[in-house]
């Protein structure tokens, strides 16, 4: 078999983030076998390179699934159920070429198993898409996050308020002293003595601020805050109802009844630091842990997409003759129920579950639309799915089933000007027809007479 994938440059494993490697095939050329010396006796022999698969299971692993010729992209899966896996961190200098998942590759039994495991844990996978959380992740176990427990929030607010008052008073006194000193320096000799006295008085004001205990004794506020914050670790952070978050505790919290493994309410606070957004996680033992129920409805559009069947044929290449059924058949209960089934089994894009769980006004806007691959030009009908809420919309990402690259929607008015994906000659479009879904249990679509 031959890969139909976009060729990109090789890079070392250590240069990739976990989310760049997860669920990616890896082409390992023959010249990289030196980095696999420790496991070479466990690998089947290969005259070429290896086809591997990177996936996240607490930490990032690399599984060796077959062989591949890095020059021709000819590959073959191993004929064995035993799969060798190694931690990705054990081969940081291994040069790999990333290959995106497509329908053919995803049929592999091991890949199917990994995909199912991630589908089953989709809510925890959804928070792995939040880049602002990366700075507080465990570098080896991305689902493990550094969090804080606030022991006395009122005391912290009081310390911060006093600290800000002190800093403001100091800044005001220093600016006054600097202005007085500058004025004294520029003054004529006969007035200089009075102005120098004023400058000295301003300097004394700074000392008075330092000595004013009502503005907080001279302490290191970071040390005081550290005493009031307990650092801890949480894992499997997931979205919850009413815009909240929840996670499991790695260890119990002193002074509470919470033990290791207990679910707790988590408050995420997003801050800007050096033009970078960072999310800080705070555990609130007293807050109620929200549920993770999902409630959705079908979006009632003002006008449904036209139910049109477009028949395209290539005059030059007789093998290309396709009919694309686009639009939506009224409420289209069959397609709606399929989407609900995909939601229930974790098969949607993980990022979509953040809105699905946290918001209670999500409506599904969907229809069948034509998409064209940006890389190989393949034409395919895919369901277009948008999550519609009162204040936002979120579209499902679309990927080519043949090469795994991103696909773009084809506007209806542009269908007549499409080229053949095989020979790139203009396609001949037959007259449009209207279709309707069969009442049978299968997915058959019928054309109206």
Bridge pairing between strands 49-57 and 433-437: unpaired
C-alpha gyration radius of the chain: 31
> DSSP 3-state assignment of 384?
strand
Residues 71-91 pLDDT 10s: 899 999 999 889 999 999 999
Per-domain residue ranges for the chain? Answer: 10-120, 123-177+217-292, 297-434
Judged against a pLDDT cut of 90, whether residue 427 lies above it is answered with yes
The pLDDT, as a whole number, for residue 188 is 47
Q: Is 366 exposed, middle or buried (0-12, 13-18, 19+ CB in 10 A)?
A: buried
Average pLDDT over the chain, rounded to an integer: 86
Burial string for 334-349 (b: 16+ CB within 10 Å, else e) reads ebbeebeeebeebebb
Instruction: Pull the structure tokens for residue 32.
Output: 């990289």
Judged against a pLDDT cut of 80, whether residue 171 lies above it is answered with no
Helices and strands, counts by H and E, the chain: 8, 22
Q: What is the average pLDDT across 410-416?
A: 93
Lowest-confidence segment of 113-122, 126-135, 318-327, 379-388 by average pLDDT: 318-327
> DSSP 3-state assignment of 187?
coil
Share of the chain above pLDDT 90, in %: 61
* CA torsion through residues 262, 267, 271, 276, sign: positive
Judged against a pLDDT cut of 80, whether residue 213 lies above it is answered with no
The residues facing 56 across adjacent strands are 60
Q: Is 150 exposed, middle or buried (0-12, 13-18, 19+ CB in 10 A)?
A: middle
Most confident of 156-165, 319-328, 437-446: 319-328
Judged against a pLDDT cut of 50, whether residue 69 lies above it is answered with yes
Distance CA 282, CA 41 (A): 47
Residues 238-282 pLDDT 10s: 999 999 999 999 999 888 889 999 999 999 999 888 788 999 999
Instruction: Pull the structure tokens for residue 445.
Output: 């679509």
The pLDDT, as a whole number, for residue 193 is 60
């Amino acid at each position: 078999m031959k890969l139909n994938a976009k060729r990109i440059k090789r890079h070392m494993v250590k240069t990739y983030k976990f989310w760049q490697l997860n669920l990616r095939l890896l082409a390992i050329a023959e010249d990289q076998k030196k980095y696999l010396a420790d496991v070479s006796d466990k690998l089947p022999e290969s005259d070429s390179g290896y086809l591997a698969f990177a996936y996240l299971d607490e930490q990032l692993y690399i599984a060796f699934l077959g062989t591949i010729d890095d020059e021709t992209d000819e590959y073959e899966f191993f004929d064995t159920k035993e799969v060798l896996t190694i931690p990705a961190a054990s081969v940081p200098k291994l040069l790999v070429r990333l290959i995106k998942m497509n329908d053919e590759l995803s049929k592999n039994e091991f890949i199917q198993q990994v995909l199912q495991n991630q589908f089953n844990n989709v809510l925890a996978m959804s928070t792995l898409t939040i880049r602002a959380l990366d700075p507080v992740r465990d570098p080896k176990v991305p689902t493990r996050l550094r969090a804080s427990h606030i022991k006395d929030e009122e005391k912290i607010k009081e310390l911060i308020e006093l600290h800000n008052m002190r800093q403001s008073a100091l800044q005001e006194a220093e600016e006054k002293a600097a202005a007085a000193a500058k004025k004294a320096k520029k003054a004529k000799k006969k007035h200089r003595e009075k102005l120098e006295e004023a400058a000295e008085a301003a300097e004394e004001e700074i000392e008075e601020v330092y000595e004013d205990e009502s503005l907080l004794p001279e302490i290191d506020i970071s040390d005081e805050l550290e005493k009031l914050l307990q650092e801890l670790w949480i894992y499997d952070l997931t979205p919850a109802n009413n815009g909240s978050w929840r996670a499991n505790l790695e260890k119990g919290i002193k002074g509470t009844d919470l033990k290791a493994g207990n679910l707790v309410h988590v408050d995420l606070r997003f801050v800007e630091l050096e033009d970078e957004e960072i999310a800080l996680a705070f555990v609130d033992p007293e807050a109620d842990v929200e549920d993770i129920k999902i409630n959705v409805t079908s979006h009632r559009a003002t006008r449904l997409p036209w139910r049109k069947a477009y028949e395209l044929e290539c005059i030059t290449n007789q093998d290309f003759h396709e009919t694309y059924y686009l639009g939506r058949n009224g409420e289209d209960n069959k397609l709606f129920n399929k989407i609900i089934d995909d939601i229930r089994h974790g098969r949607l894009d993980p990022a979509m579950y953040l809105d699905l769980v946290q918001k209670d006004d999500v409506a599904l806007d969907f229809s069948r639309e034509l998409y064209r691959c940006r890389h190989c030009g393949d034409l395919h009908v895919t369901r277009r799915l948008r999550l519609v809420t009162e204040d936002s919309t979120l579209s499902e990402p679309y990927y080519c089933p043949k090469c795994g690259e991103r696909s773009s929607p084809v506007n209806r008015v542009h269908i007549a000007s499409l080229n053949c994906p095989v020979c790139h000659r203009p396609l001949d479009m037959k007259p449009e027809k209207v279709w309707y879904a069969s009442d049978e249990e299968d997915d058959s679509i019928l054309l109206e007479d």
